[in-house]
A and B are shown apart, each in its own frame.
Chain A
Amino acid sequence: MKFTDVISPFLAWSRAAKKADTIPYPTQQNPGADRYRGFHINDTSKCIGCGRCETICENKAIDMVKVEGIEPTKGDSGLRPVVDYGRCCWCALCIDVCSTGSLAFTNEYRWVTEKPDTCRYTPGVDKKAWDNEEKGYRQENDVLGWAGSPREEMTIEVPEERIKTFDEVVKGYTVQQAMDEASRCIQCGLCISACPAHMHIPDYLKAIAEGRFVDAVKLFYDNNPLPEMCGKVCTRQCETVCAMGYQGESIAIRWLKRFACEQFESLADVLALEAQPGEPNGKKVAVVGAGPSGLSAAYYLSRKGYEVHVFDRYEKGGGVAWYAIPEYRLPAEGISKQMKVFEQAGVIMNYGKEINAGMLKKLESEFDAVYLAVGLQKPSSARIEGEDLPGVRPAFDFLMNSPEKTEDLKGKTVIVIGGGNVAMDTARTCVRLGAEVILSYRRRVVDMPADDEEIHEAMEETIDFRPKTIPIRIEKTKNGIRYLYHEAKMVPNPKGGRPSPKPKDDVEHAIDADILFSAIGQTSDIEFIPESMQKEMELKWGRIIVDDKQYTGYKNFFAGGDITPGEGDAITAIADGLRAVQGIVDRLE
């Protein structure tokens, strides 16, 4: 030890003359850093109430509650997070997993209050001083990617190969791909409200993620007896509201449903005891039309013990969904696989029986209830000159008639008019039959009612899209027909809604072709309903208006599917069938 050691500690006194390291609070206050984890804010208009913040919070500091003024809608639970600052530890997991990125921290950390109850509040709803603070810990999903991820890529046949055959375009997932894709689900359940049939989507995704495919199929059949068909051609309203879609891609719910069904040779065996007729209750129900809606009603009624007879004019069940949808989207072999389930469940099928007015009267007297699910059978008219020329054909009839077996269009030029799924199916079928296809549509491509995927795939398949073309007339030529059209410009609709097409000029453009398919929609054909019955029912545009249990208002008659106003897709038709079951049960008991 040296003498300086006695002196040196006292040199610390020199600090007394220097500026202090500490901050003289409260005259000078330290703002939080730009990234500071202070109090929460929530953009309630962006928040969809998926509840992922609540799930991830390990302290149970977040509860999802109903908030005054925010109503639940499709894709929004109407719930918003309440944060309890007596439990929050500011770990910011809730911020980083927020599926829409609405939840964030401000850099405000000072809050003095005499009321401890206010320390539990709903950010964004209960007004706080820091609501407009722009700094603070915010989600950076491009860094972490916790709030959204890309979906497992589906193998799709390349356009050059797929136009050669009617083989299925979509190849399906492998087991690993399906389990990985299903495990992306955050179990928020927003999809359930968007699905017309309210299928148990989070539950079956979890089952698939865990490899319990039998459980998944059983969950499908709880409220959808045609899962394989829906797994291929559903309009998937569920995917449009998927929370994962906000900052990534929505979960491939449709493909996963298809995957689970394809794991089994026989769905009837998987369901075994679950697809059996119920204890007979002595009541009989007639279902007119073996499409998705009719089959759904029949399946669940039969399981409840009703004796159900299904009548259909065709020789096989499935309706438009199976007959009109081409092989490359929905192969026929899936039909019998799914139809076996209905047979096992005790549904009595009467194929090749066209119901007319007389027979309907007979059904009325013989059965306790009748469910009308006949769909839309009559092609709409384009109302243009030359529509009745030979060579101008309705696309719907063409598709219904197994074109892959009955038609040969090699070297021919085909025009398809329309922008819906039937137009796409027709155009793509014609390409596969060897034709050169031109697709004419009055409005823009974005206005087409067909699925985006269908439009995209059709474009890949060398189909010549001619949007904004207004038909004038069709003329007969030596070898075929001539289609004349105006080019259109889009005029904004003063009443709102989508802009309408108007001819750009007087120039008439012409295309020579062999065949023209008109695919501008179908209308109902209710001639089989006797006038006396029609008078008792409420009709609008040829469709039957029903109540929320599909009741027509006439005796024990119920109706559903496309014959009633609605979305016009298979899953809505299935949902109608489910509601009709409830209606029939209520009415007969």
Chain B
Amino acid sequence: MGVNPATDPKKTTHLFFGPQHPGVTGNMSVEMWFDGDQVTKAITHVGYLHRGFEKLMEKRLWIQNFPLVCRICVPEPDINEECYALAIEELAGIKVPERAKWIRTLVLEMARLAMNLMAFGGQAGTLGLGTGAMWGITFRDFILDLFEELTGARVYHIYIQPGGVRRDLPRGFRKRVHLVLNKIEERLPEFDRLILNNAVFKLRTKGIGAVKPEWIEEYGLVGPVARGSGSVRDVRKDAPYEIYDKLDFDVVTETGSDIYARAMVRRREIELSISLIRQIVGGIPPGPVATKLPNLTEWRVPAGEYYSRVESSRGEYGYYVVSDGSLKPRRVHVRGPSYVHAVPLLERMLIGANIADVSNIMVSLTTCPPEIER
């Protein structure tokens, strides 16, 4: 590649960061030019992970896409199933039973909790604090155990379907949810002592990786990235889906605009998810968990288009689904928040950053490359 024409080539270091670097979020890379150890220019490169999800979906039956969409996001697959199911339900006019809505919300919050535990610990991991990352993964595994019990699968659950969910809660499940939540809550202070009250963590995150509040509108930032800079955007509150309008919660927001603030948002989101899960588990009404669907191999979803959106752990996440009334979707477009976070925002944020802070900044955005290249 070459030379950054903006600066003198003799004084510039040219570096590729990723895709194999452990500090990079997922399978992407950043090409950077340095003046000393300061970044002068950054370009995000994607394309290492393109599996053609959107095109593949046009070749499969409506129901066959459920095992596919979840693979767009490993740590939090359920948002994909939820978005896709919401769109099909809207197009086909399928009513979801009340109990199924509660169970879906439970699944979505459990996935968010697992994701935030991993992302919060992972933030420490980028600073060499491996213990934090390990603890995050461990806590996430407790939730995966719950998923295994509920859905039969640990990572890709393929559990949400149009018209409800595929299985009812197992006997004694609510009790075990409480036990896991208690265990996590019990350990959270230890987590705080290790990460938030850590001198190194504070020094490396406070005042670094600023997301200016005016960028929120300019780039269309969402999720913890925007909420760390004072935004109160949250689809769960702004356009409640499933049963979020029946739950009692406040949108988590911080004003620090830096990495610390975003870590803090995730830390508080963990508590919020725990509170929401407790509310859901206490209030699940009895009833059926699925609506009867037509013959799946001959199912023609009526023609139409719909944009469904949910709040993922990274912000607003949407599916634009078009049906021409045939056995397969005509077009499915996945709109993930990582596109703006990882490409224009990251390129701008990195300018002036220290070389040692690059992965720290990247991880604070928790970008997810499969959302960028569907």
Contact = CB atoms under 8 A, between A and B. Distances in A.
Interface of A: 1-2, 4-6, 8-9, 11-12, 14-15, 21-22, 32-37, 52, 55-56, 58-59, 89-93, 96-97, 105, 137, 140, 143-146, 149, 180, 183-187, 206, 209
Given A9-B193, A143-B288, 9 more contacts: A22-B138, A33-B145, A89-B156, A92-B152, A143-B166, A143-B290, A145-B293, A183-B294, A185-B295
Given A93-B63, A149-B295, A58 B68 contact: yes
B295 A137 contact: no
Interface string B257-296: 0000000000000000000000000000000111011111
A37 B153 contact: yes
A332 B347 CA distance: 82
A89 B298 contact: no
Contacts of A146: 293, 296
B66 A91 contact: yes
Contacts of A56: 61, 63-64, 296-297
B37 interface: no
11 contacts: A1-B203, A8-B194, A12-B190, A21-B138, A34-B149, A58-B60, A93-B67, A93-B158, A96-B166, A143-B168, A185-B298
A5 to B, nearest CB: 4
A183 B158 contact: no
Interface of B: 60-61, 63-68, 129, 131, 138, 141, 145, 148-153, 156, 158, 161, 166-168, 170, 190, 193-194, 197-200, 202-203, 288-290, 292-298, 300
B64 A93 contact: yes
Contacts of A186: 295, 297-298
Nearest to A3: B199
Residue with the highest number of chain B CB atoms closer than 10 Å, among A4, A58, A186? A58
Contacts, number: 123
Nearest to A183: B298
Contact of A36 (B68, B148, B288): B148
User: Which label, helix, strand, loop or mixed, suits the secondary structure of the A interface?
Assistant: loop
A140 B190 CA distance: 42
A35 B200 contact: no
Contact of A11 (B67, B193, B293, B296): B193
A12 B289 CA distance: 43
A252 to B, nearest CB: 14
B199 A5 contact: yes
Contact of A33 (B129, B149, B298, B300): B149
Contacts of A59: 67
Contacts of A144: 161, 166, 290, 293
Contact of A184 (B60, B158, B295): B295
A209 B152 contact: no
A509 B202 CA distance: 103
Contacts of B153: 36-37, 90
A275 B361 CA distance: 77
- The 4 lowest CB-CB distance pairs between A and B, nearest first, are A91-B67, A58-B64, A5-B199, A137-B152
B152 A105 contact: yes
B215 to A, nearest CB: 27
A1 B202 CA distance: 7
Contacts of A35: 148-152, 167, 170
Given A5-B202, A12-B194, A143-B290, A37 B152 contact: yes
Contacts of A184: 294-295, 298
B152 A36 contact: yes
A344 B63 CA distance: 47
Contacts of A145: 290, 292-293
Contact of A8 (B67, B193, B288, B293): B193
A196 to B, nearest CB: 27
B64 A183 contact: no
B197 A4 contact: yes
Nearest to A244: B295
B64 A143 contact: no
Contact of B131 (A12, A34, A89): A12
A140 B292 contact: no
Given A8-B197, A33-B149, A209 B290 contact: no
Given A89-B67, A92-B158, A184-B295, A143 B167 contact: yes
A98 to B, nearest CB: 12
Nearest to A13: B131
B51 to A, nearest CB: 13
A6 B167 CA distance: 49
Contacts of A22: 138
Nearest to B161: A144
Contacts of B156: 89, 91
A32 to B, nearest CB: 7
A248 B97 CA distance: 22
A58 B64 CA distance: 6
Contacts of B61: 56, 58
B148 A32 contact: yes
B264 to A, nearest CB: 15
Contacts of A12: 131, 190, 193-194
Contacts of B152: 33, 35-37, 92, 105, 137
Nearest to A186: B297
A4 to B, nearest CB: 7
Given A145-B292, A209-B298, A8 B198 contact: yes
Contacts of A92: 152, 158, 166
B149 A183 contact: no
B95 to A, nearest CB: 15
Contacts of B194: 8-9, 11-12
Contact of A5 (B65, B198, B292, B293): B198
Contacts of B167: 35, 140, 143
A96 B161 CA distance: 12
A21 B290 CA distance: 36
Residue with the highest number of chain B CB atoms closer than 10 Å, among A1, A33, A34, A149? A33
B169 to A, nearest CB: 11
Nearest to A38: B152
B208 to A, nearest CB: 14
Contact of B197 (A5, A32, A52, A187): A5
A58 to B, nearest CB: 4
Contact of B67 (A2, A52, A58): A58
Nearest to B294: A183
Contacts of A206: 298
Contacts of B199: 1, 5-6, 9
Contacts of B190: 11-12, 14-15
Contacts of A149: 292, 295
Contacts of B296: 56, 93, 97, 146
A97 B289 CA distance: 17
Contacts of A2: 197
